[in-house]
A and B are shown apart, each in its own frame.
Chain A
């Protein structure tokens, strides 16, 4: 598969009370963009720190949109003010779209106007994340993929080799198994 067909997803999930959290979010989003210049980047909205405060939640989504437009993310998934509450109501969706339109229009060309300081907070953080990622990848290589997955190397979720979901859906193919759709695709 070529790079331009490989969609890469990441999310804005930092604690909103963390000092300078937007600088750090910008650092992460920008570095994702820069490391994979040829792949579509899917940027996913905050969910982890969302509660029932829909007004604050809407503001979090606005800042998420701002980071998205500033760092040129390809596919911006929109956050919902009622995240963590219910399946979005029509007015929730409308609020989200209006929010995104406002920010993506208003700050459309901002990214071309600014650059980041060589040794500033944003660049320093990007270097730190990159360094830690490299170490993480080396750890995975050292342990082996399955052991690493078991040890919560991905999204802090553990999956063991012998348990998990979906095994009931696995069937043994007959020697003469034929699926014409694979051919067509």
Chain B
């Protein structure tokens, strides 16, 4: 009998029937396209835990290289109810609410600076967060009355960004990372935090990373306070900033 309702304790990939476990795979083998190559690909996919393997295509992509598109059904499943993910839990506020929270609870303008760090020149993300007009109908940080927001633009080296943070007495630093070739974004992000620690800035400043390959857990691992990915709206970043700032204020008062 076909299951029609999802069993969250037994989650499998869905193709066209519940729990069929269908997965599409694409990979290249460094051997000439041949019946032997096809058999090798099938056996490899079998070793990965797939059944009912269908080689959709085998293409000669270069001399001595063959690429496969293969469908298989996985035997594995997962208990979805046990999944835990680190994510930003702070409540979301509108621009008006955020301005009001800063005005009444913080009582001073928060200085936010941001840049595309290292040799990264792709400012589309940081611009969407900073620029007046913002992104997807959500106004940028420059528009907020209680943020003193400054976008330093592209290719700002980590040490220059931190120098500027000291000069402007920044409360928040946003680092935008777009280029991720050979994980350069992770290296740059780690370096920024290391430098901040050396300059005794880590505790004073809220560090936020953003970019298409940035995730919250990965940003935390690099030592940031938060990470935001594709499609993030300025008000989401702003909400995190005020919540984090206030929680730090509370901690200071307690000790």
Chain A residues near B (Cβ < 8 Å): 48, 51-52, 84-87, 89-91, 93-94, 152, 156-158, 164-165
- Is the beta-carbon distance between A51 and B62 smaller than 8 angstroms? no
Interface size class of B (residues with CB under 8 A): 20 to 34
User: Measured between alpha carbons, how far is A93 from B124 in the docked complex, in Å?
Assistant: 26
Partner of B67, one of A87, A91, A152, A157: A91
- A178 vs chain B, min Cβ distance (A): 33
Are A165 and B155 closer than 8 Å at their CB atoms? yes
Please give me the 5 A-B residue pairs with the lowest Cβ-Cβ distance, nearest first: A94-B61, A91-B67, A158-B153, A90-B28, A91-B28
In contact, A91 and B153 (Cβ under 8 angstroms): no
Question: Any chain A CB within 8 A of the CB of B220?
Answer: no
Residue B223 interfacial (CB < 8 Å): no
B127, A91: Cβ atoms under 8 Å? no
Q: Answer whether A94 and B182 are a contact pair too, CB < 8 Å, given A51-B230, A84-B212.
A: no
**In whole angstroms, how far apart are the Cα atoms of A87 and B212 in the complex?**
15
Q: Can you list 10 A-B pairs, Cβ within 8 angstroms, ordered by A?
A: A48-B124, A52-B212, A86-B180, A91-B26, A91-B27, A93-B61, A94-B61, A94-B67, A157-B154, A165-B119
Given the complex, which residues of A lie within 8 Å of B121, measured CB to CB?
157
- Which of chain B's residues 59-74 have a Cβ closer than 8 Å to chain A? 59, 61-62, 65, 67
Secondary structure of the A contact surface, majority rule:
loop
**B positions within 8 Å CB-CB of A:** 26-28, 59, 61-62, 65, 67, 119, 121, 123-124, 127, 153-155, 178, 180-182, 212-213, 230
Closest CB in chain B relative to A9 CB, distance in Å: 15
Q: How distant is A160 from chain B, measured CB to nearest CB, in Å?
A: 9
B232 to chain A, nearest CB (A): 13
Interface pair B127/A90, CB less than 8 Å apart: no
How distant is B192 from chain A, measured CB to nearest CB, in Å? 18
* Residues of A with C-beta under 8 A to B124: 48
B230 to A: closest C-beta gap in Å: 6
Counting chain B CB atoms within 10 Å of each CB, which of A52, A90, A158, A165 scores highest?
A: A90
Shortest distance in angstroms between B23's beta carbon and chain A's nearest beta carbon? Answer: 15
Bound Cα distance from A89 to B67, whole angstroms: 11
Given A90-B28, A94-B62, A158-B153, also A51-B212 (CB < 8 A): yes
Given A91-B67, A164-B155; 9 other pairs, CB 8 A cutoff: A52-B230, A86-B180, A89-B28, A90-B62, A90-B67, A94-B61, A156-B123, A157-B154, A165-B155
Determine the residue in chain B with the shortest Cβ distance to A87.
Answer: B181
Q: Which single member of A86, A91, A165 contacts B61 (CB below 8 Å)?
A: A91
Q: Verify B155–A90 contact, CB threshold 8 A.
A: no
- Name B60's closest neighbour in chain A (CB-CB): A94
